Chains A and B, each alone.
Chain A
Amino acid sequence: GENVEQHPSTLSVQEGDSAVIKCTYSDSASNYFPWYKQELGKRPQLIIDIRSNVGEKKDQRIAVTLNKTAKHFSLHITETQPEDSAVYFCAASKGTDSWGKLQFGAGTQVVVTP
């Protein structure tokens, strides 16, 4: 089955700096890669996703890149703010499924210090 590895497990950044989280996946059939942000005590919230027919996607301060050949994808957060502090999960699923069975990475605890 699919295996998703996520690094680093914790990331401390100064406010205003950039943060990068990297994930690798094992199943070349995976073609949908969402990123979820989970604040303490809250639900996972989708912040950005990318499909395998696209190499990069950007939404304001957040961007995701996908390298299908190397089977890895990354989340980039620019100009970090204290409210970006949360746990971030990457995930992968196969569009060949008739539903999106997500395989999650282990998560990255991001701490943005003022």
Chain B
Amino acid sequence: DTEVTQTPKHLVMGMTNKKSLKCEQHMGHRAMYWYKQKAKKPPELMFVYSYEKLSINESVPSRFSPECPNSSLLNLHLHALQPEDSALYLCASSQVGTGARGNTIYFGEGSWLTVV
């Protein structure tokens, strides 16, 4: 099962709202990611969690707050967003390991976020 599930699929929020995006995987992967994707652009890495600890924060504004409650779940808490934050937010997961074998990254379906 190579499934990463994300909820909600669509979200419209005002600039003063607080909302959360949720992601779940049951592949036993210990690395989980949040990517942001604007139309006609490649995904941009936001955060990486490895063994439930934040390993990479790609200088993301503090209005985005990630959380990894356990090895299967990843949340992205949203607060005081701007219209330019409207995008597709992709969760992904992979194994953790080193060496030449590389780590295949599996993406969820994404959450379409519109900030009004």
The tally of CB-CB contacts under 8 A between chains A and B is 78
A107 touches B41 (CB 8 A): yes
A102 touches B105 (CB 8 A): yes
B40 touches A96 (CB 8 A): no
Interface residues of A, dominant DSSP: loop
A32 touches B106 (CB 8 A): no
**B97 close to A (CB within 8 Å):** yes
A101 touches B102 (CB 8 A): no
A107 touches B42 (CB 8 A): yes
How many angstroms from the CA of A87 to the CA of B105 in the assembled complex?
18
How many angstroms from the CA of A45 to the CA of B108 in the assembled complex?
9
**Which B residues are in CB contact (< 8 Å) with A52?**
100
Q: How far is the CB of B92 from chain A (nearest CB, A)?
A: 9
B102 touches A45 (CB 8 A): no
Q: How far is the CB of A52 from chain B (nearest CB, A)?
A: 6
B102 touches A46 (CB 8 A): no
Q: How far is the CB of B107 from chain A (nearest CB, A)?
A: 5
Q: How far is the CB of B90 from chain A (nearest CB, A)?
A: 7
Q: How far is the CB of B71 from chain A (nearest CB, A)?
A: 14
Contact count band on A: 20 to 34
Q: Mark B87-98, 1 if CB is under 8 A from A, else 0.
A: 000100010111
**Contacts A43-B109, A95-B98, A98-B50 hold; do A105 and B104 have CB atoms under 8 A apart?**
no
B97 touches A34 (CB 8 A): no
Partner among B56, B100, B105 whose Cβ is within 8 Å of the Cβ of A95 = B100
**A53 close to B (CB within 8 Å):** yes
**Which B residues are in CB contact (< 8 Å) with A42?**
109
**Contacts A102-B45, A107-B42 hold; do A93 and B102 have CB atoms under 8 A apart?**
yes
**Contacts A97-B98, A106-B42 hold; do A46 and B48 have CB atoms under 8 A apart?**
no
Chain A residues near B (Cβ < 8 Å): 31-32, 34, 36, 42-46, 49, 51-53, 87, 89, 93, 95-102, 104-107, 109
